[in-house]
Amino acid sequence: MKRETTPKWSRGPIEAPIWVAALAVMFFILGATGALSSAQAAIIDYAVIAGILALSLNLLMGYAGQISLAQASFLGLGSFVTGFVVSHAGSFGLPLSLLLSVVIGAIIAMVVGLPAMRLRGVYLAIATFAFADAFDNYIFNIQKISGLGSGVTVTRPHIGPFHLKTDATLLAFSLLWLAIVWLLDTRLMSIRYGRALLAIREDEQIASSFGVPVTQEKMRAFLMCGAIAGLAGSLYAYQVQVIVKSSYALQISLFYLIVVVVGGLGSRPGVVVSAALFTLLPYWFTFLKGWDFVIAPALLIITLVRNPGGLPDHLQRLRDARELKRRRETKEDIAGLRPKVVGTERPAATVTEELLRVEGISVTFGGLRAVNDASLEVTTGAAVGLIGPNGAGKSTLFNVISGFEKPRSGRVFFEGRDITLAPAHERSALGISRTFQHVGLVRRATLVDNLMLAQHSRLDYGAIAGLTALGDTRRLEAESRTNALDLLDEIGLADFADLRVEVLSTGQQRLVELACAVASRPRLVLLDEPSAGMSPAAAEHLAEQLARLRTNFSTALLLIEHHIPLVTAVCDTTYVLDAGAVIASGPVRKVIKQPEVVTAYVGEAV
Ligand code: ADP
Ligand code: MG
């Protein structure tokens, strides 16, 4: 099959920043020739700065799904830092003010983000709100720090030949920064750190099952958000020249929240255009003044009701659904495709040794003992079943093994190592991967991105290298992409690689999940009811597919499954869990005939 192997980030994304830079040159010339009035240039500059600030909030809210009501505080920080630096640093004022605004913005944003380690949604919003309030009412009021009173005056800088004295040159300068931020933002979303954010937005458990250190990545999102907002604040200070604290009041934070949501959470062009329009329209259509504060919330409500992801998200989904249909029509039946064997498998294990040992695990929820002193063992390369009636505690035991649930007592050993207390993402990096009873994929990311996400811990380049595409980044990304496409090929879904997961059928999503589970070359795959939600026809293929996974990747399987024929076909031995306790274990066919197992299943079909 002919296919695109160039990573998408080595082309394409450069175009938009080039256009923005071209605009900068154009405005610079228009300003120099007097064709653009100073007042107009200033207004457009505000729109550009608003665009930068919107990108910073979009990074946090749109990509990472974290909420912040303190965006104006970061903007204010950048402005006040700039005011302070300009009045003290003389001719190095410009570079120093930009640098310090970015650094201080990043540091303070991490402090604001600390509650995000624990809090989510509304609670996080309240925590950031408290911070914004503190800045609004106290920090920005401290005379010594902010120099407030009648406002801080910022003189416009010039370094050597660069005079940023006129509004048109400042506008050109801001546009160049917009181009840079845009470029970095695009890069971010095409490397592992960006994919990690999308996974966190979707579901933190899914993210850590892919090997993403959730807390760390959330902090990184706050850091980047604060850095960009600090930059915007600095540019804003040079434009307004007189900084007063009312420009950074709470309602400004809310205004940007609306801008980003209406523009479309996660849509780069969407939020920039939205920010520009929200800024420019009230200036250009003066009758809108005052009304914009009615129109904006109305737009917010309409967006949230009609399509929480905004218009760009909606359009993307429609496009993907259409593409799915078109590509399906042009190709023969998917289910009939025979998966081919990939050549990158690890050599089969020759000796069987202990891989996973679970000893005396108990888990309680309030008064309920969901798992009761359960022990089990999986040797290298083995396929072991875990069966039992609904509510027996199977999924809970999986959660203990993969690190999502802390047991009340008992230990988990993997390759002889006690991992009872290891965080989930570390277990994934050690070689334990899992699927969920409900599809555990990033639904709003493409198939190929999901498969690359599943290789998160194998792509060990740093953030700076990633953003600048230095070092091994390109090679590692390209390899991971090739691996992803190979796996998609194997499950017969390579044609849909660039479509978002959400447009696929449940059965297809299940297959993608399986591919993700082996993408990181794990030693052990935990499968939680993989046939759930599959059509009978697709489920029939599953046994074959699981057996192939096992041999191709010489990985061990621990399989929770209700469909007993599937267990019989895939597994050699099985454990039976009932009311949290292991009541039987041994060869599948023998175990399912035991009277206590049959009794446990009374009322359910074995
Ligand atoms: P299974 O996967 O075997 O169907 P589960 O492990 O999902 O069973 O659930 C075992 C028992 O624990 C059930 O009674 C379920 O209601 C309960 N349970 C599971 N998760 C939680 C939770 N987070 N909080 C409270 N009870 C839970
Ligand atoms: Mg379950």
Q: Which domains does the chain have, with CATH numbers?
A: 10-249 (no CATH), 354-602 (3.40.50.300)
Distance CA 159, CA 449 (A): 44
Cα-based distances in Å from 100 to 51, 292, 398: 21, 34, 47
Rounded distance from Cα 563 to ligand 1 centre (Å):
19
Does residue 265 carry a pLDDT above 80?
yes
Residue 446 DSSP symbol: B
Exposure of 261 in the CB half-sphere (CA atoms within 13 A): 24
- Residues in contact with ligand 1 (CB, 6 Å cut-off): 365, 368, 370, 388, 390-396
pLDDT per position as a tens digit, 369-400: 999 999 999 999 999 999 999 999 999 999 99
CB 490 within 8 A of CB 514: no
Distance CA 37, CA 283 (A): 14
Main-chain dihedrals φ then ψ at residue 469, nearest 5 degrees: 60, 35
| Average of per-residue pLDDT across 227-255 | 91
* Maximum mean pLDDT: which of 292-306, 443-457, 590-604: 443-457
Q: In what order do the strands lie in the sheet with 368-379?
A: 368-379, 354-365, 409-414, 417-418
- Tell me the average pLDDT of the chain: 86
> Would you call 151 helix, strand, or coil by DSSP?
coil
Distance CA 106, CA 98 (A): 12
Rounded distance from Cα 370 to ligand 1 centre (Å):
6
Rg (CA), the chain: 28
Residue 602 DSSP symbol: T
Give the residue, out of 365, 387, 434, 529, with the most ligand 1 atoms within 8 A of its beta carbon, to mutate for a pocket test: 365
How many C-beta atoms surround the C-beta of residue 332 within 10 A?
8
Does residue 11 carry a pLDDT above 50?
no
pLDDT band at 207 (very low <50, low <70, confident <90, very high): very high
Give the residue, out of 396, 406, 575, with the most ligand 1 atoms within 8 A of its beta carbon, to mutate for a pocket test: 396
Query: Which ligand 1 atom sits nearest the alpha carbon of residue 396?
Result: 6
Task: Give the rounded percent of residues in the chain with a pLDDT score beyond 90.
Answer: 54
pLDDT score recorded for residue 124:
85
User: What residue's CA is closest to ligand 1, atom 14?
Assistant: 391
Rounded distance from Cα 530 to ligand 1 centre (Å):
18
How many C-beta atoms surround the C-beta of residue 105 within 10 A?
30
pLDDT per position as a tens digit, 521-577: 999 999 999 988 887 777 778 888 888 888 888 899 999 998 888 999 999 999 999
Does residue 15 carry a pLDDT above 80?
no
Query: Which ligand 1 atom sits nearest the alpha carbon of residue 399?
Result: 6
pLDDT score recorded for residue 89:
75
Rounded distance from Cα 383 to ligand 1 centre (Å):
24
Sequential DSSP letters for 469-499: T-TTHHHHHHHHHHHHHHHHHHTT-GGGTTS
β pairing state of 524-528 and 432-434: parallel
User: What residue's CA is closest to ligand 1, atom 10?
Assistant: 393
Distance CA 391, CA 371 (A): 10
pLDDT per position as a tens digit, 66-77: 988 999 999 999
Strands (E) located in 483-570: 524-528, 556-560
Distance CA 236, CA 223 (A): 20
Distance CA 47, CA 132 (A): 23
